[in-house]
Amino acid sequence: MNDRSQYPGSKTDGIGDRFQQETKYDPERMDYQGLDWSRRPEPYKDYPSSLARIALPEPDLSSAPSLWNVFANRRSRRSYDAKKLLPISTLSTLLWAAQGISAQQGEFLFRTAPSAGALYPIETYLSVRSVDDLEPGIYHFRPQAFDLELLNKGDYSTELAGAALGQAMVAKAQVTFIWSAMVERSKWKYRQRAYRYIYLDAGHIAENLYLAAEALGLGVCAIGALFDDQANRLIGIDGGEETAIYMASVGLLKNHPRR
């Protein structure tokens, strides 16, 4: 489809251009049919209970620098001290800041980051290289239980750096967050427009991680450049119904530039 007249004033050559045009809300073309609650996808992902589950310590929310300083100082930081160990309590605080449960209304749980329709289509995985009291491995985070499920033991950081187009910071990071989208969770309500919201949701989550890491004196770098299917294989997902979309390396800094 290359019909520019259909979308006046826009180029429609590529799939991205068409996606943006064809997922526009238009008052002339709204056909909202309501939600079929009997077909609501599972809001949470759990792996079989035979996997090891590691309860996370309570996040430490007792102190933080001023919000304005955190905004002013936040940067993408890519140089980490690979030899240091990240305390599990710090990892717990980062997970809570990114995707923790912070409120409940009836059966609905709300999180630290906003989500279109409160559908929370993003799942969080970790590639742990060097965290105190946590063996290296690939983990899945369950916000509702506030624990980690151990999917695969071993240090996958070099492989994951390969999946991030060879970005060396991933091999040195104490932990790398990998975010996937459970597409149907959002499509159930928003159909093809869901993809817009999925990416927006992921951006909010990553920013929460950035700000929390800045408050804790850690380095974070968002990673959009990834070989999708290599990342999918590493966390064991199909790349269709659930697909890796974004990552962020987290590392301890030799010297924080402002501390």
Q: Under the criterion CB under 6 A, does residue 224 sit at the interface with ligand FMN?
A: yes
**Side-chain half-sphere exposure of 62, counting CA atoms within 13 A:** 4
From residue 76 to residue 95, the character string flagging contacts with ligand FMN as x (rule: CB under 6 A) and all else as - is: x-x-----------------
Structure tokens at 213: 């890491």
The three-class DSSP label of residue 170 is helix
Q: Under the criterion CB under 6 A, does residue 221 sit at the interface with ligand FMN?
A: yes
Q: Under the criterion CB under 6 A, does residue 208 sit at the interface with ligand FMN?
A: no
**CB 226 → ligand FMN: shortest distance, Å?**
7
Identity of the residue, 78 or 193, whose beta carbon is nearer to ligand FMN in the bound complex: 78
Q: Under the criterion CB under 6 A, does residue 222 sit at the interface with ligand FMN?
A: yes
How far apart, in whole angstroms, are the C-alpha atoms of residue 216 and residue 204?
18
Taking the CB of residue 186, how many other CB atoms lie within 10 A of it?
Answer: 25
Q: Under the criterion CB under 6 A, does residue 122 sit at the interface with ligand FMN?
A: no
Stretch that binds ligand FMN, among 64-72, 132-140, 187-195, 222-230 (CB under 6 A): 222-230
Q: Under the criterion CB under 6 A, does residue 225 sit at the interface with ligand FMN?
A: yes
**Side chain identity at residue 87, one-letter code:** P
**CB 222 → ligand FMN: shortest distance, Å?**
4
Q: Under the criterion CB under 6 A, does residue 75 sit at the interface with ligand FMN?
A: yes
User: Shortest CA distance to 102 belongs to which of 141, 40, 146?
Assistant: 146
User: Shortest CA distance to 218 belongs to which of 110, 93, 129?
Assistant: 93
Q: Under the criterion CB under 6 A, does residue 67 sit at the interface with ligand FMN?
A: no
The three-class DSSP label of residue 246 is strand
**CB 184 → ligand FMN: shortest distance, Å?**
23
How far apart, in whole angstroms, are the C-alpha atoms of residue 217 and residue 96?
16
Q: Where are the beta strands (DSSP E) in the chain?
A: 53-55, 101-105, 108-111, 122-128, 137-142, 147-153, 175-182, 219-223, 242-251
Structure tokens at 120: 């929370």
- In the region spanning residues 145 to 174, those forming contacts with ligand FMN, defined by CB under 6 A, are 167
Q: Under the criterion CB under 6 A, does residue 258 sit at the interface with ligand FMN?
A: no
Stretch that binds ligand FMN, among 28-36, 46-54, 71-79, 144-152 (CB under 6 A): 71-79
Q: Which single residue brings its beta carbon nearest to ligand FMN?
A: 224
Can you give the binding site for ligand FMN, defined by CB under 6 A?
75-76, 78, 167, 221-225
